[in-house]
Chains A and B, each alone.
Chain A
Amino acid sequence: MIAALEVTPAWYLVLGALLFSIGAFGLLVRRNPLVMFMCVELMLNAVTLTFVTFSRMLEDTGGQSVVVFVLVVAAAEVVVGLAIIVALLRKRPHATADDVALLEG
């Protein structure tokens, strides 16, 4: 029965959409900056999964090369974002994302 189920690209797309929604939901409801950051990463990876799926479906390598770009950007983003979060948590160990509002002029 299980063998009868064929894994179609739709599965990957649904998985990507689910991952994206979980990430977005987490981003909205959590306050811990580190968790919010992980949610953003989750959303990014959901998108890359979608890109790869479409690349396979359309037999176009363009989608895969975009994924490489996304990885590079994500890496850069991690460097900056993590640095900010580490600096923030060092100053105030139990800070939430809302505390960053202090920076507003």
Chain B
Amino acid sequence: MLDIVWLIPALPLAGFLVLLAAGRRIGEPASGWLATAACGGSFVASVVVYAGLLGEEGEGRSFVQTLFEWMPVGDLQVDIGFLADPLSITMALFVTGVGTLIHLYSIGYMHGDRDFSKFFVYMNLFVFSMLMLVLGSNMLVTFIGWEGVGACSYFLIAFWFTDEANASAGKKAFVTNRIGDWGFLVAIFLAFASLGTIDYAGVNAGAEGLPAVTATAIGLLLFVGAVGKSAQIPLYVWLPDAMVGPTPVSALIHAATMVTGGVFLMTRVNPILAAGYDWVPDVIAWVGVITAFVAATIAVAQKDIKKVLAYSTISQLGYMFLAVGVGAYVAAIFHMITHAFFKALLFLGAGSVIHGMHDEQDMRRMGGLRRFMPITAATFIVGWLAISGVPPFSGFFSKDEILLFAWGSGGAQGRALWAIGLVTALVTAFYMSRLVFMVFFGQPRWTEPVGEPAPVAAGAADPEVETGEAATVAAPEPAPAHPGVHVEPHESPWLMTLPLVVLAVLAAVAEVINLPFTPDLKVLEHWLEPVIGANEAHIDVATATKVGLAVTAVVAALTGIAIASLVYLRRRVRAVEPAVLAHAWYYDEAITRFVGGPGTKGFEAVAWFDRNVVDGAVNGVATVVRTSGRGLRTVQSGFVRSYALGISAGVVVVLAYFLTRLYI
């Protein structure tokens, strides 16, 4: 059963090729169904391989399938091969599972789009690349997938490329990711230089024998790659802008799967991280927890429903890196899975709202939608409770596990990580409740123009966006948002609500894969043991403390929800949404200013150096050769007798030399 591993990526690849060749002829909706079937078939194949792995025991749960030799060059031996082990199959299962649901949803969401079939071409290519990423048996195959998902992300962010903003958001994502890709690529070189192999099996086995400094370098460079792909500080800027793509894309690529690639990579190479210096995991943990906190604070003041979810994704990914940093790899994967369910649910719900509101994304124009879209509202509320960390929904268990490990990592640092994580959890509950209350509760506001005394907008007045929207969206007097279109929110078709319901159920019950109550219930931990094994942190925390931490987390979540209900539901407290948060701490502006000012000067200096020194050296050599050649060619006159004279004179000189040597 294990040898059908190749089918898992092959099916989406086949779907991609068929749609690429004949997508337009197949048309709507058949091309969507074909893509969904390809992804669904891939899911079935993953289940079969999963069942096959279950039949093995312990260390036997690792199966390498080599399709062909890719590049045998000297000592470098790179195969196109797949590694099926608990980690990769777990990833493949939820990538294809969530992917299938989102494909299904997209058939409804992309209905009537001019490029309906092209959308599914990209979606299938993305699923294929993502599966190459997780299933690759060596770093280079993973890197192909890594670049493939980056390219698909670019295609899909800029899917509606006729709008300048969308096209430049795609470019931004691509360029930012290149910085991370550089780290990954150099790490591959370094791994080959020091270990002579880039197979995960060889790298992880040889990690222990590596000098600490080399292991640190490889680990940190891979972390740079992970930071780019998983949108952590300082490379997170592309993800919020990526929200201009179609919403299913945001759900699939920018929430559930691609952005978790960094966490996956860190988990995959955990022996390398363990072999480096002690401070490497600390760096990862701090980057993660700071990202989690900063992104959560930014989400508090966003007006665009998808922007809130985007910053929330960054924040949750920060939690996963915190988990990796404190050695809680199982908790990281656990949170990755639950996050894939509830964040895909939230994004798809947001897409359903946007669809029902006729492409309105500003939360200030929503409200009371639960009466118009009952299924969307109900499922969204499940997602909200899950991400807020309210038991018994899945998010509570996975987030609590991470906080527990942060606490248990010991020392002042552990306490600090835990405290920031806890505050972030509170803020998370707050901004998600804000979103839910603004969108689904309260009074309908889609007939009001934005900027009227709506208390929500008061604190975060943003003149630029304000005028832009007033010009395009809001009519001067209370009138429908789109002139000529009667805005009446409506529930989405079953194709879109069905995935919502399935994901809501998963978001509610996904914790069963790793319940903390007894060791036997920690299914995921036992399952992942062959991959992570020795490098998983073992914490020593009393049961009473564990319960206390969990209760604290629940109290924090409920506090966040309560504050949000006071502010946005009962409107007892005036909303505080400082501009600094709405502008994401002016980070983007700072980058723009830096690159525009000193950055440009720096690059101009580099360009000058390149032009005058590097090119100068090359051109100088050419000039010397050309000048001396021009001088020497006059000797070749074509007069045979002058050549003969030259030769004779040479003979005489040589003879004279030998004779003088002989007699003097």
Contact = CB atoms under 8 A, between A and B. Distances in A.
Secondary structure type dominating chain B contacts: helix
A98 B648 contact: no
Contacts of A28: 641, 644-645, 648
Given A24-B648, A28-B645, A97 B640 contact: yes
Contacts of A97: 639-641
Interface string B539-583: 000000000000000000000000000000000000000000000
Interface string B604-641: 00000000000000000000000000000000111111
A102 B636 CA distance: 12
A7 interface: no
Max chain A CB contacts within 10 Å: which of B638, B641, B648? B641
A101 B637 CA distance: 7
Contacts of A102: 638
Nearest to A27: B644
Contacts of B645: 28
Given A24-B648, A28-B645, A28-B648, A104 B638 contact: yes
Contacts of A36: 640-641
Interface residues of A, number: 12
B636 A98 contact: no
Interface in B283-321: none
B638 A103 contact: yes
B644 A98 contact: no
Contacts of A31: 641
A4 interface: no
Interface string A36-49: 10000000000000
A28 B647 CA distance: 10
Contacts of B638: 100-104
Interface string A67-105: 000000000000000000000000000000110111110
A80 B99 CA distance: 78
Nearest to A97: B640
Chain B interface bracket (under 10, 10 to 19, 20 to 34, 35 or more): under 10
A104 B637 contact: yes
A34 B645 CA distance: 18
A97 to B, nearest CB: 5
A7 to B, nearest CB: 26
A50 to B, nearest CB: 14
B130 to A, nearest CB: 62
A82 to B, nearest CB: 15
Contacts of B644: 27-28
Max chain B CB contacts within 10 Å: which of A36, A98, A102, A103? A98
A98 B648 CA distance: 18
A104 B636 contact: yes
Contacts of A98: 639-641
A24 B636 CA distance: 21
A22 to B, nearest CB: 13
A38 to B, nearest CB: 14
A36 B641 CA distance: 9
Contacts of B636: 104
Interface in B628-664: 636-641, 644-645, 648
B658 to A, nearest CB: 15
A19 to B, nearest CB: 15
A97 B643 CA distance: 11
A98 B645 CA distance: 13
A33 to B, nearest CB: 8
Contacts of A100: 638-640
A9 B180 CA distance: 86
Contacts of B648: 24, 28
A27 B639 CA distance: 13
Contacts of A27: 641, 644
Q: Which 5 A-B pairs have the closest CB atoms?
A: A104-B638, A101-B638, A97-B640, A101-B639, A27-B644
Given A98-B641, A100-B639, A104-B637, 14 more contacts: A27-B641, A27-B644, A28-B645, A28-B648, A36-B640, A36-B641, A97-B639, A98-B639, A100-B638, A101-B637, A101-B638, A101-B639, A102-B638, A103-B638
Interface of A: 24, 27-28, 31, 36, 97-98, 100-104
Interface of B: 636-641, 644-645, 648
23 contacts: A24-B648, A27-B641, A27-B644, A28-B644, A28-B645, A28-B648, A31-B641, A36-B640, A36-B641, A97-B639, A97-B640, A97-B641, A98-B641, A100-B638, A100-B639, A100-B640, A101-B637, A101-B638, A101-B640, A102-B638, A103-B638, A104-B636, A104-B637
